Amino acid sequence: MEKDAIKIKGTLHGLVFNFNTDAADFQEICQALGKKLSDSAQFFAQANYIIDENSNLSEEEVRAIEEIFSLYGLTPGQLPEPSKTAPVQEETDYGLEQGTTQYLMKQSGDGVLIPYGIRSGKKILVEGHAIVMGDINPGAHIIATGNILVMGTLRGIAHAGASGDKEAYIMAYRLAANQLRIADKAARAEDNDQGAGSYPEKAYLKDDVIIIDPYETPQTKRTMVKAAR
């Protein structure tokens, strides 16, 4: 199936799906959509969806697509009507703006650049790799289907490889996370863990245990306790 048959764009109001039946037949589109939603269930869970009005679908096909979304827990969203007085602001691929309670983002290339830190209470979902240019505070939550790179201190919750990728990793300038997840494995620091060192560290899976290594000196290892899952 042509990759242009399904396009997804992240906005502040939900994920906008464009379906092109000129690139693939409708049955193939439905199968591909179901597989995508299933493979990245953590990313798409409870997301809002919007079917692009430029999709060349019949009313019956739209209803079939809506049934698939409902099956995987997505709910319909709606883009706001453009204001006649205020200038129209174009949505970016990131759908990222300060002050919102949840971010839904689509990958641009292989990853998404988040140009500032993540405050407590915020939740960011990224399809692809996530690069955070700042700290992730306690109570903040970031989920990515790929790797997570934090150009600051990671104190919140981070989940890499959310679609099941056990080769994914989490790296931070200072790693002091409340909880780390990679694929279907989770770990939290021991009670007597005094936190990360003053150097970059990388968390990855080895024998189904999350290991943390100093990024530049892999001879020394710090292992986190795998949580019961």
Q: What's the pLDDT at 189?
A: 56
Summarize the confidence of residues 160-177 as an average pLDDT.
Answer: 90
Domain locations in the chain?
A: 3-76, 102-226
Q: What's the pLDDT at 56?
A: 86
pLDDT band at 63 (very low <50, low <70, confident <90, very high): very high
Average pLDDT, the chain: 77
User: How far is Cα 153 from Cα 197, in angstroms, rounded to an integer?
Assistant: 11
Instruction: State the CB neighbour count (10 A cutoff) for residue 63.
Output: 10
Q: What's the pLDDT at 85?
A: 39
Q: What's the pLDDT at 3?
A: 60
Copy the structure tokens of residue 93.
């691929």
Q: How far is CA 44 from the centre of its chain?
A: 8
Return the top range by mean pLDDT from 3-17, 100-114, 122-136, 148-162.
148-162
Which string of b and e fits 73-93 if b means at least 16 CB within 10 Å? ebeebeeeeeeeeeeeeeeee
Task: Note the pTM of the prediction, 2 decimals.
Answer: 0.59
Q: What's the pLDDT at 158?
A: 93
Fold designation for 102-226: Pectate Lyase C-like (2.160.20)
Chain segment 81-135, per-residue pLDDT in tens = 654 433 333 333 333 444 443 444 554 556 788 888 898 888 888 878 888 989 9
Angle of the 26-39 helix axis to the 59-71 helix axis, nearest 10: 20
pLDDT over 90 at 167, yes or no: yes
Q: Looking at 20-29, 176-185, 216-225, which range is the least confident one? A: 216-225
pLDDT over 80 at 155, yes or no: yes
pLDDT band at 213 (very low <50, low <70, confident <90, very high): confident
